[in-house]
Structure 1
Amino acid sequence: MLYELKSNLPGFKTARFRDGLNIAIARRSPTPTAEDGGDRLGKTSFVRLLDFLLGSDVRLGHPLRRTEFAHAEFGLTLDLFGQPRTIGRSVENLAYAQVNGAGMRISKFRAYLGKGLFGLTEGGNEPSFRSLMAYYLRDVTAGGFVSPTETYRKQRAADAQPALAYLFALDVDLVAKVREVGETDKNLRELRRAAKDSIVGMTLGRANDLDAQIRTLQIQRDDLAREITEFHVADRYARHRAQVDELSRRIRDINDRLVLLEGGAKDIEKALSQDEESLPDRDYLRDVFEQVGIVLPDLVTRRFDEVEAFHHSIVANRRRYLEAEHARRLREISQEREDLGGLDRERAELMRLLEAGGAFETYSELQRQISVVDGRLSELMERRAIVDRWGNANRHVQLRSAELALQISSDLHDRRDHIADISRLYASFAYRLYGDRRPAALTIEAKRSGYKFVPTIGGGATKDVQGMALFCFDLCMAVTAKRAGHGPDFLVHDSHLFEHVDARQVAGALDLVADTCRKEGLQYITTIDSDRLADALRERPDLDYQLCAEMTEEREDGSLFGIRY
């Protein structure tokens, strides 16, 4: 339970809490101004300040990053380990916190709170303290109210599941195994994508291509080994000479083709570089006829225009043809040069062998070639083994994933009474709000990705219904976690939760949470505008609540921190 929120800031609005429903009210001016809205009075900052004192970071955009709070200190008194304790943090020293005046590093402080509020032992597959706390103090600036099962925008199900499984008293070890398999599968997918990359894929290769290269090299090696066994120098030289002659002929042919291709490409470039051919000048004709006193009829002028347009079309078509022909020749030149380089290297290797000093050198060269082939074969076979291991790993991941899905399904079946209690509790909360008009359910399904939480309230998926679905989900979570000894006895909501909800539903939600707090020994804290609270009280005049803090626009120092910014 929380007792008091305070600060050394002179105008800070100290908040005092009791059990049950606590409301931090923001009294708005009867005549709204252009400055109204946002967080001018500090409603959202109120929640974020509580979160700060419970170990959150001060990231970019956090109100405590303002220079006005550079020397501010804050304190929160709450129950920890069965007795009230006061924790404190200062903006000047964010890496440390205090508990009853004793300092500790923030990492140790979070572990301390995790043990005191959630019963964490820092062992096994438990979720982190901050991932759990995020469901009790949702951050609207991070997208905490977008989905009941997410505490920030686009949160992966794998990241949310450890906390949800723990809070709803499910098997966190199963979730950890699913997450491990998921990470392995993700890594394999990344490796497969990398293998298709133009560089990495070229290095590793594909199974079929590797098999083909291995078979070709094995045949080449067998030929070299046979030549070494049946070594005949003269035959070897004759074969090399014939090969050199053939390669020289092919090189000459390519050079001849390159001369023609390059010459044609230069001619086309020259043609393209010249200005577009000048159009026929028809103005001189008009001048001649005018000098002799003849006026050209409109029909003749139109014919001149048609001829000029036709000429433009011919010039444009010719240019497109030249550009296409130039590109084709450049491609052919590139290919011919690549072929020429390969043939030249092959001929150089044969010439080096022919220039060897005799039989011993030739025999040594054969030995060197077979060593090169052996090294290449070894490399390819190792790469082929890696590809096989990838395939086996992928099959193992798929099998393991299916096994875990079956285990989760079996686990949910074994916990069917517990799951039914959770769903019944959620449905009862929604029924208090909507009656039988909107059937509701919180189902927990077994998926390959782990437990899937599906909170629903029937009818249209309007923003007010979505807000109340999140409200019922959080309240169900807080009750379930407290009963299991997996969560604290308080829950905090920003006023943004009720932003799109009408007065009747706001009144119903506040009455529901006040009643639930009495029955379950919980404490609920929320911020709300004064006009919204007044509308709700007209619907529920007997609402049991306490004003824990009051912010107002009537004074310059009426905001939470006592200053306007």
Structure 2
Amino acid sequence: MFRHLRASDERFKSVDFHEGLNLVVADTTKESTETDTRNGAGKSGLIEVLHFLLGAKFERRKSFLGKEELRHIDFQLDLDWPTLSGQSLQVRRSLEKPNDIYLYPDITGSRLAPEGRRRVALTEWQQLIERDLFSIPNERRGISARSMLSLFMRRVGSNAFNEPIRTWPQQTLAEAGANLAYLLGLDWQLASKYRELATRESTRRQLSAATKDPVWGKIVGRSSELRGQISDVQQRVNELENQVSSFRVVPEYERLQTRADEIDQRIRHMRNEDVVDRRNLIDLEAAMQDVSDPDIDYLERVYADLGVSLPESVTRRYDEVRDFHASVVRNRRNYLETEASAVRERLAGREAERVQLGEEQSRLLRTLNEGGALDALTALQQALAHERALLESLRNRFEAAQTLEASGAEIKAERAQVENQMRADLVERDRIIDEISVRFREYALRLYGSDRSAYLAIEPTASYLKLLPHIASKDSRGIGNMVMFCFDLTVAVTAHRADRGPDFLVHDSHLFDGVDERQVARALELASEVADTEGMQYIATINSDDLAKAETAGARLQYSVIPPRLTDAYEDGGLFGFRFG
């Protein structure tokens, strides 16, 4: 239950709530003229502030509270909280920093000291509301506590009074049906499948239209082609993951790599030198074979054949020449043999060096093959991240392609299956549905008597779980609003009894527009009785003339009126105490 509502601006009119029926009245003043209006008194603004404090998203340019004059105001709400025994929870939220919510005491379940306020983000506050006010399980899809709160506190600005089931025009019937199924104790998980099917059908239609575009059609692709691409990329991802997991960073990797390159260049250079030396060795060996002593003996034979006798001096000179030539040949042969030996030594030396360098090169290559440099590991990780992103993109495209290729008949068949499952489940929950229907009919009969037929029909369709509250009428707006009143009261009581919803229900004065004063009186009396019986709180904003008419019709409501009494005084009569915007 709400207890106290206040603001940091002293002009704001604080509100103190109590159990049972709470009426916030907008009155006229003695100075009021025909041009004055109570539409700016702050009746709807009160509900907007309550929503703001209970986790509504805040868009400054769209919200009623987004006016510049309100920017520096903090609001605080004290309310009973299910997890606190005998102590109220204080919720504080600022229009200047709407994403920060301050709670006291700390209800987050953290190990922080409970002293002082606990600041939580908006999303965490919404999760706490889901957990404690609505007992929504962690594993939930298709239902929302914020959407449910819009049933317990309907907003005029969201057109929540257009119909009982939906609280804003863009809300799908499938989503509304899933939320109501949860509050009424039905199979909300089954009801939420309608929403999933509706989303799939909407996506299929959009993609089907988009594929007619030549560029977008290539982006989506065909599922058969994408499946092959996914398999290929997945293989690359697996290989890269194995490389990264087995990668070993080698210290001084660059130095080792440089040394390995130097060895390779040295071996190549020695091979070139070997080629030159082997050619030189061949030439030297050939030259040694061609080297021989000069033969001058044939001269004596030639002269003897001619009958010429050479003197001894000439013969001696021949011997000297022969000795000289023999010395030259001997020296050349020695030189050639020395050069050949040097070449052979160089070849042998390089071969030994090559063996040594080869062993060193093998060790370096083994080290380099077993690991790599840190930048190589980084490159591998970047490649892996790229392939993973590509894989995720392909999977998204694959899902989109599958959705696109799914035929309308397939979705239609699934809708029929959900409808049959929902129908079977409702049969099993027949007792619960009877209790809900009887409760709604009881409330409707309290307002209109037994002459009108009244019922709450719950039945599955192919698209959503249909809930149809009905009171027989001739399309009267006033009766339509009372249908909404009975429906909201039925949902609130049913949810509260099962600990699936809060113990309060708030209605704006717009709900009573066009309603006969007798029905207004009966509705407020009924709300008061139900709130007292169920241990709940019913809050309604109402204009003073409607209140007077209800009291004339026999309702005793003065004791339910709570301060402040709002007026149509232009400057300071409204809830905020000053005019803005």
TM-score by structure 1 length? 0.64
Are the aligned partners of 2:99 and 2:122 in contact in 1 as well (CA < 8 Å)? yes
Q: Which amino acid aligns with 1:116?
A: D
- Residue segments in structure 2 that go unaligned for 5+ positions in a row: 105-116, 222-399
Q: Taking structure 1 as reference, are residues 141 and 203 closer, same or farther at Cα in structure 2, changes over 3 Å only?
A: closer
What's the % identity of the aligned pairs?
Answer: 35
How far apart are the structure 2 equivalents of 1:528 and 1:159? 31
Q: Taking structure 1 as reference, are residues 389 and 519 closer, same or farther at Cα in structure 2, changes over 3 Å only?
A: closer
How far apart are the structure 2 equivalents of 1:147 and 1:548? 31
Partner in structure 2 of residue 88 of structure 1:
92
Q: Which amino acid aligns with 1:452?
A: K
Answer yes or no: is 1:116 the counterpart of 2:132: yes
Partner in structure 2 of residue 57 of structure 1:
57
Among 463, 468, 476, which residue is 2:490 paired with? Answer: 476
Q: Taking structure 1 as reference, are residues 451 and 203 closer, same or farther at Cα in structure 2, changes over 3 Å only?
A: closer
Q: Taking structure 1 as reference, are residues 440 and 111 closer, same or farther at Cα in structure 2, changes over 3 Å only?
A: same
1:373-432 deviation digits (Å, cap 9, x = unpaired): xxxxxxxxxxxxx99996664333222211111000001111111111111111111100
How far apart are the structure 1 equivalents of 2:45 and 2:126? 21
How far apart are the structure 2 equivalents of 1:133 and 1:438? 30
1:79-135 deviation digits (Å, cap 9, x = unpaired): 112341110111111111111121111111111122121112332336222111111
Partner in structure 2 of residue 454 of structure 1:
468
1:514-536 deviation digits (Å, cap 9, x = unpaired): 11111111100011111111111
Partner in structure 2 of residue 562 of structure 1:
577
Partner in structure 1 of residue 143 of structure 2:
127
1:491-530 deviation digits (Å, cap 9, x = unpaired): 0011011011121111111011011111111100011111
Q: Secondary structure at the match of 2:136?
A: coil
Deviation at 1:482, TM superposition (A): 0.5
Partner in structure 2 of residue 333 of structure 1:
none
Q: Which region of structure 1 is more displaced relative to structure 2, 46-55 or 176-185?
A: 176-185
Q: Which region of structure 1 is more displaced relative to structure 2, 187-196 or 65-74?
A: 187-196
Are the aligned partners of 1:126 and 1:166 in contact in 2 as well (CA < 8 Å)? no
Aligned-CA RMSD value: 2.6
Deviation at 1:78, TM superposition (A): 0.5
Q: Taking structure 1 as reference, are residues 405 and 562 closer, same or farther at Cα in structure 2, changes over 3 Å only?
A: same
Answer yes or no: is 1:144 the counterpart of 2:160: yes
Answer yes or no: is 1:492 the counterpart of 2:506: yes
Q: Taking structure 1 as reference, are residues 390 and 6 closer, same or farther at Cα in structure 2, changes over 3 Å only?
A: closer
Are the aligned partners of 1:430 and 1:440 in contact in 2 as well (CA < 8 Å)? yes
Are the aligned partners of 2:32 and 2:568 in contact in 1 as well (CA < 8 Å)? no
Are the aligned partners of 1:433 and 1:509 in contact in 2 as well (CA < 8 Å)? yes
Deviation at 1:65, TM superposition (A): 1.5
Q: Secondary structure at the match of 1:9?
A: coil
Partner in structure 2 of residue 67 of structure 1:
68
Q: Which amino acid aligns with 1:96?
A: D
Q: Secondary structure at the match of 1:152?
A: coil
Among 162, 174, 179, which residue is 1:158 paired with? Answer: 174
Larger radius of gyration: 2
1:258-310 deviation digits (Å, cap 9, x = unpaired): xxxxxxxxxxxxxxxxxxxxxxxxxxxxxxxxxxxxxxxxxxxxxxxxxxxxx
Partner in structure 2 of residue 421 of structure 1:
435
Are the aligned partners of 2:178 and 2:465 in contact in 1 as well (CA < 8 Å)? no
Q: Taking structure 1 as reference, are residues 534 and 158 closer, same or farther at Cα in structure 2, changes over 3 Å only?
A: same
Partner in structure 2 of residue 312 of structure 1:
none
Q: Taking structure 1 as reference, are residues 553 and 191 closer, same or farther at Cα in structure 2, changes over 3 Å only?
A: closer
Deviation at 1:474, TM superposition (A): 0.4
Deviation at 1:190, TM superposition (A): 2.6
Deviation at 1:464, TM superposition (A): 0.2
Q: Which region of structure 1 is more displaced relative to structure 2, 417-426 or 180-189?
A: 180-189
How far apart are the structure 2 equivalents of 1:389 and 1:531? 57
Q: Which amino acid aligns with 1:46?
A: L
Q: Taking structure 1 as reference, are residues 518 and 391 closer, same or farther at Cα in structure 2, changes over 3 Å only?
A: same
Q: Which amino acid aligns with 2:47?
A: V
Among 521, 526, 533, which residue is 1:519 paired with? Answer: 533
Are the aligned partners of 1:9 and 1:562 in contact in 2 as well (CA < 8 Å)? no
Are the aligned partners of 2:174 and 2:192 in contact in 1 as well (CA < 8 Å)? no
How far apart are the structure 2 equivalents of 1:204 and 1:520? 55
Are the aligned partners of 1:95 and 1:105 in contact in 2 as well (CA < 8 Å)? yes
Q: Secondary structure at the match of 2:6?
A: strand
Written as runs of structure 1 = structure 2, the 5 A alignment for 1:90-239 is 90-100=94-104, 101-125=117-141, 127-195=143-211
How far apart are the structure 1 equivalents of 2:197 and 2:457? 24
Q: Which amino acid aligns with 1:87?
A: V
Q: Which amino acid aligns with 2:65?
A: L
How far apart are the structure 1 equivalents of 2:73 and 2:195? 41
1:330-382 deviation digits (Å, cap 9, x = unpaired): xxxxxxxxxxxxxxxxxxxxxxxxxxxxxxxxxxxxxxxxxxxxxxxxxxxxx
Deviation at 1:201, TM superposition (A): 7.9
1:152-186 deviation digits (Å, cap 9, x = unpaired): 12421122122111111111211232222222222
Partner in structure 2 of residue 439 of structure 1:
453
Q: Secondary structure at the match of 1:535?
A: helix
How far apart are the structure 2 equivalents of 1:393 and 1:556? 62
Are the aligned partners of 2:25 and 2:565 in contact in 1 as well (CA < 8 Å)? yes
How far apart are the structure 1 equivalents of 2:203 and 2:95? 40
Are the aligned partners of 1:41 and 1:559 in contact in 2 as well (CA < 8 Å)? yes
Are the aligned partners of 1:22 and 1:548 in contact in 2 as well (CA < 8 Å)? no
Q: Secondary structure at the match of 2:437?
A: helix
Partner in structure 1 of residue 380 of structure 2:
none
Deviation at 1:146, TM superposition (A): 0.3
Q: Which amino acid aligns with 1:511?
A: E
Q: Which amino acid aligns with 2:7?
A: S
How far apart are the structure 1 equivalents of 2:200 and 2:142? 20
Q: Secondary structure at the match of 2:550?
A: helix
Q: Secondary structure at the match of 1:423?
A: helix
Are the aligned partners of 1:111 and 1:122 in contact in 2 as well (CA < 8 Å)? no
Q: Secondary structure at the match of 1:33?
A: coil
Written as runs of structure 1 = structure 2, the 5 A alignment for 1:250-269 is none
Partner in structure 2 of residue 330 of structure 1:
none
- Residue segments in structure 1 that go unaligned for 5+ positions in a row: 206-385
How far apart are the structure 2 equivalents of 1:90 and 1:480? 34
Are the aligned partners of 2:36 and 2:568 in contact in 1 as well (CA < 8 Å)? no
Q: Taking structure 1 as reference, are residues 61 and 34 closer, same or farther at Cα in structure 2, changes over 3 Å only?
A: farther
Are the aligned partners of 1:408 and 1:446 in contact in 2 as well (CA < 8 Å)? yes
Q: Taking structure 1 as reference, are residues 557 and 421 closer, same or farther at Cα in structure 2, changes over 3 Å only?
A: same
How far apart are the structure 1 equivalents of 2:496 and 2:217? 53
Q: Secondary structure at the match of 2:449?
A: helix
How far apart are the structure 2 equivalents of 1:15 and 1:389? 52
Q: Secondary structure at the match of 2:565?
A: strand
Q: Which amino acid aligns with 2:579?
A: R
Partner in structure 1 of residue 78 of structure 2:
77
Count the aligned residue pairs.
386
Written as runs of structure 1 = structure 2, the 5 A alignment for 1:337-348 is none
How far apart are the structure 2 equivalents of 1:536 and 1:139? 23
Q: Which region of structure 1 is more displaced relative to structure 2, 165-174 or 184-193?
A: 184-193
1:200-241 deviation digits (Å, cap 9, x = unpaired): 789999xxxxxxxxxxxxxxxxxxxxxxxxxxxxxxxxxxxx
Q: Which region of structure 1 is more displaced relative to structure 2, 436-445 or 551-560?
A: 551-560
Q: Which amino acid aligns with 1:413?
A: V
Are the aligned partners of 1:78 and 1:85 in contact in 2 as well (CA < 8 Å)? yes
Partner in structure 2 of residue 44 of structure 1:
44
